Amino acid sequence: MDPVARVTRGAGTPGKAAEMTEKIVLKPGSLYLRNRTPRVSSTAGITLFTIVLAVLSNVQITPAVEVFTNSFLVKMRQPAETFVADSVAARNGFVNLGPVLGSKTEYHFVHRALPHARTKRSVPHTRRLKVDPMVHTAVQQSGFKRVKRGYKSLSIEQLVPLQEMKNSGSQDPTDPYFQYQWYLKNTGQNGGKPKLDLNVEAAWAQGVTGKNVTTAIMDDGVDYMHLDLKYNYNAKASYDFSSNDPYPYPRYTDDWFNSHGTRCAGEVAAARDNGVCGVGVAYDSKIAGIRMLDQPYMTDLIEANSMGHEPNLIDIYSASWGPTDDGKTVDGPRNATMRAIVRGVNEGRNGLGNIYVWASGDGGEEDDCNCDGYAASMWTVSINSAINDGQNAHYDESCSSTLASTFSNGAKDPNTGVATTDLYGKCTTTHSGTSAAAPEAAGVFALALEANPQLTWRDIQHLTVLTSKRNSLFDAKGRFHWTMNGVGLEFNHLFGYGVLDAGSMVALAKRWKTVPPRYHCEAGSVLNMQEVPSDRSILLKIKTDACAGTDYAVNYLEHVQAVITVNATRRGDVELFLTSPMGTRSMILSRRVNDDDHRDGFTKWPFMTTHTWGEYPQGTWLLEVSFSSKVPQHGWIKEWTLMLHGTREPPYTGLPAADPHSKLAIVKKAHEERSTGI
């Protein structure tokens, strides 16, 4: 059972920056809230806002065989310096790997004599730590699986002969692989649709190339000696949490299994005009390597320390991995990892907040990325992919938490994947999966941060919604169509708000006004257990004023969460739809044919939607629960709590819309009409 963490911060003093103070209350099986008033700070910045962490509470994450590692989370009775923790570890036969998230009370101990993974708890070792007078608690870390998205076992690829490459113009990068980088400049090569790309040249033309921005690639290592990466490598911001040293170099294997991080790094920051491979989206930005995927089992502490590593040196964290994409796993970040993410968005980048970019998942139509607690988090930007003719890729998952899309591979030619750096100083044209999509988004966000270094993590999400384009994206099977929400924003269940447009994002970032403080509202709950029959849906209602008249009223939505407890004879046949008072219907859970669970169900799982962005939340919300199955099923919905997250004030006041037909203009008009009662 994982505890629940919920965090709330006060709004601060108007006109001044508020330094974040938060308290995370952890208690199994319940949602707890603590309000704290922030300390007023003279530090330049924005007024910080109320924030809630409504996450995996007692979700049953039950592996077939429970695994325990040789890592322990040790909490001291009182704050202790690292040398004291070293001494405590040594006298008990452990090694101290360092503090957890900069804490002076929590430390990461390992016992070298224990195997990295075993099926029994190490009770004597835990007991020995607990009886130490300096130790308050000691918890052996369980191990779990995390998988790379888009990895395929490949033989060593041959370099494409450079003489076959021709660049289209003198202003284009001269890098030999640039013509294969159709996602940067799509001229219709290899059956692609012309101009279906990230529009990066429009950003570069504005003199923006990612300078002074660092993106961390959290993966299996980065070949920082690669000629296309070495001069953009930020060693100070890098670390190897798999081997516990400052050198996150990949471990070479015959099947190139650990090429994943190097490929992702090249997408972001491969150098320009150096005659090697291609060019990165933000080719003057820096990359940090965080090696954390190359061990038999992941632990909460490895994830937490990776996501909390150097939050004031790193701007963006890019993750192209997650729980197993098998269509039956329901999993997400544990306790310490959630604390790391919350700390990052609240304190990282000197209070502006780190940007966490996540690949939405490669489970295809048999999976739903709202069952992935990383991609479905409010604090991450979940990115899906499209191929070079605008279709979704066959491995793309769909869900209501996806914010936008970039690109993965070509439709017809296996060599029209993402061209990027590879191991052994080589290049590849076959990188693919949503693994390839997330680093492209990280590169676009790096461009935006150079254009405006004062952007907050929420500003990046607003810019993503307002500047992403429908372009030519479409669902190849005709399941999901483009839909307009209540304030005129177009979204798609596969692609979110569309494909990222670097040129438009940079242009708007340059004149951006920081969005108002963010609040949360627990809008209501349905707690009486109701049966879900096999032959029809049931409809639950919550009528809310969105906390009007309180200090945490929400009038303009960002994220909406439906925190739900439901059990069924077959979990994979349950479908959930959430409809807003303005009529926007989000599928927050789709059928997953591989999910045969009949025991665990969902327990306080926060299903999230971005489809109601900008809408007004006051009124009646509807939750539709049904089965999609040819075989009779039955179940029970035990709880539904509606969480609203957004602003009290209109988010775009004072931000002029240059184009009357832009998304910004459309939403501003809708908000102005509401405020004037038209």
CATH number for position 131: 3.30.70.850
What is the Cα 644 distance to its own chain's centre? 19
Is there a single domain that holds both residue 640 and residue 657? Answer: no
In whole angstroms, give the CA distance from residue 186 to residue 201: 11
Q: 46 lies in a domain?
A: no
Which residue has better confidence, 476 or 234?
234
Digit-coded pLDDT (tens) for 255-298:
767 999 999 999 999 999 999 999 999 999 999 999 999 988 99
Kindly report which listed range (66-70, 487-491, 495-499) carries the lowest average pLDDT score: 66-70
Q: 33 lies in a domain?
A: no
Q: 578 lies in a domain?
A: yes
Is there a single domain that holds both residue 458 and residue 576? Answer: no
Is there a single domain that holds both residue 198 and residue 121? Answer: no
Q: Residues 488-505: what's their mean pLDDT?
A: 98
The residue among 456, 475, 510 that closes a domain is 510
Residue 219, pLDDT above cutoff 50: yes
Active site residue 260: yes
Is there a single domain that holds both residue 333 and residue 464? Answer: yes
When pLDDT is cut at 50, 70 and 90, the band that residue 71 belongs to is very high
Give me the pLDDT at residue 45, please.
30
Q: 198 lies in a domain?
A: yes
Give me the pLDDT at residue 44, please.
28
The residue among 96, 113, 143 that closes a domain is 143
Q: 601 lies in a domain?
A: yes
- Range of the structural domain that residue 435 is part of: 160-510
CATH number of the CATH domain containing 427: 3.40.50.200
Is there a single domain that holds both residue 164 and residue 176? Answer: yes
Contact 512, 459 (CB under 8 A): yes
Give me the pLDDT at residue 171, please.
86
When pLDDT is cut at 50, 70 and 90, the band that residue 64 belongs to is low
Q: If we measure between CA atoms, which residue out of 616, 612, 652 comes closest to residue 515?
A: 652
Is there a single domain that holds both residue 635 and residue 668? Answer: no
Q: If we measure between CA atoms, which residue out of 586, 540, 538, 534 comes closest to residue 561?
A: 586
Q: 178 lies in a domain?
A: yes
Digit-coded pLDDT (tens) for 456-474:
999 999 999 999 999 999 9
- Kindly tell me the burial class for residue 191, based on how many C-beta atoms sit within 10 Å of its own C-beta (0-12, 13-18, 19 or more): middle
When pLDDT is cut at 50, 70 and 90, the band that residue 117 belongs to is confident
Is there a single domain that holds both residue 455 and residue 506? Answer: yes
Contact 305, 100 (CB under 8 A): yes
The residue among 89, 108, 143 that closes a domain is 143
In whole angstroms, give the CA distance from residue 57 to residue 518: 23
Is there a single domain that holds both residue 524 and residue 431? Answer: no
259: left (phi over 0), alpha (psi -120 to 50) or beta: alpha
Is there a single domain that holds both residue 522 and residue 578? Answer: yes
What is the Cα 313 distance to its own chain's centre? 19
Q: Residues 663-667: what's their mean pLDDT?
A: 98
Q: 25 lies in a domain?
A: no
Is there a single domain that holds both residue 556 and residue 609? Answer: yes
Q: Residues 292-321: what's their mean pLDDT?
A: 97
Contact 184, 200 (CB under 8 A): yes
Residue 68, pLDDT above cutoff 50: yes
In whole angstroms, give the CA distance from residue 183 to residue 407: 6
Digit-coded pLDDT (tens) for 516-567:
999 999 999 999 999 999 999 999 999 999 999 999 999 999 999 999 999 9
Give me the pLDDT at residue 63, please.
56
Among 260, 493, 559, 611, the one annotated catalytic: 260
CATH number of the CATH domain containing 545: 2.60.120.260
What's the angle, vertex CA 114, arms to CA 110 and CA 119, rounded to 5? 110
CA distances from 164 to 169, 179, 271, 342 (A): 16, 10, 21, 48
* Per-residue tokens: 671: 């908000």
DSSP assignment string, 361-397 = -S-GGG-BGGGBTTTT-TTEEEEEEE-TTSBBPTT--
Task: Using the structure block, give the residue that is written with the tokens 């998205």.
Answer: 149
Please report, rounded to a whole number, the percentage of residues in the chain having pLDDT higher than 90: 81
How would you write 566-582 as a 3-class SS string? EEECCHHHEEEEEECCC
Among 219, 284, 294, 595, the one annotated catalytic: 219
What is the value of pTM for the model shown? Answer: 0.89
Give me the pLDDT at residue 62, please.
52
Residue 327, pLDDT above cutoff 50: yes
Is there a single domain that holds both residue 98 and residue 214? Answer: no
Active site residue 219: yes
Give me the pLDDT at residue 139, please.
97
Is there a single domain that holds both residue 671 and residue 597? Answer: no
Residue 200, pLDDT above cutoff 90: yes
Which residue has better confidence, 658 or 563?
563
Q: 193 lies in a domain?
A: yes
Digit-coded pLDDT (tens) for 376-435:
999 999 999 999 999 999 999 999 999 999 999 877 676 789 999 999 999 999 999 999
Specify the number of domains making up the chain: 4
